[in-house]
Structure 1
């Protein structure tokens, strides 16, 4: 299939994890990479939409304090994780460090950025507490992020 994640057997992955999902060389030679940042076990658990929405806002804003490579941070429709798109080909350890630093910033946040009707299409659909709880759980499993498949 054309979509990389449709070729992933979601029954055998073991969340939480961070995996390189795609590498693309653009016509002008630039390279972008896409990481699957999986918070919840597919088909068994998911994040509630206000939590997803708030993590998206927080990560999108705070990650750019740590890297100029960030192109986008987007939620998965299945609500089990996010896609992190970066310019170039940073080392995997650099990507993990970016994610960890950004998530740590989220724990220190006092509000969700742009969570209002002027700056967001559904400004009332946010939960800082939910985002911080999900992030805290993901960070607690930091030593498992490199393991995509169960043993």
Structure 2
């Protein structure tokens, strides 16, 4: 079988950041890497779950809401994939930075955390998520599109 694109990246040298993972027509997948691969500690599931709820909510309430396709965790617990449609790299990177900042400053209830809204509504960690989001925002704050390529 053909190897999928994400398995062709050298995870031993990959550092935290945001990268263009692949482009499929008008859809771009961004690799939002919070943790250096193969280097514990990894993101705990409750932290990832909370980041997922926050980022998806803020991104889908942005001026680019119609361009957002998907935001979700990587199984390796080192980051997230973010898929957008018909967006320039500049706009997508700005959306990522703005959304991470909004998430890091979130106050109050986590969106979508009732049994009706979520299939695992009790597994969240807002304090842990805010810590990771602030750390990630510090890394991305000065990013430019030149940083979006895998090394």
1:93 — aligned with what? 90
2:21 — aligned with what? 21
Question: Displaced runs of 4+ in structure 1, greater than 4 A?
Answer: none
2:132 — aligned with what? 134
Gaps of at least 5 residues in structure 1 are 26-30
Alignment deviations for residues 23-49 of structure 1 (CA, whole Å, 9 cap, x no partner): 112xxxxx2111101000000031110
Q: How much does 1:2 deviate? A: 3.4
Alignment deviations for residues 90-149 of structure 1 (CA, whole Å, 9 cap, x no partner): 222211210111112112322211112111111000011111110000011123672644
Give yes or no for the alignment of 1:65 onto 2:61. yes
What's the C-alpha RMSD, in Å, of the aligned pairs? 1.6
2:4 — aligned with what? 3
Q: How much does 1:6 deviate? A: 0.9
Whole-angstrom CA distance in 2 between matches of 1:118 and 1:91: 36
TM-score, normalised relative to structure 1: 0.87
Alignment deviations for residues 43-70 of structure 1 (CA, whole Å, 9 cap, x no partner): 0031110000000011111101221210
Q: How much does 1:71 deviate? A: 0.5
TM-score, normalised relative to structure 2: 0.87
Gaps of at least 5 residues in structure 2 are none
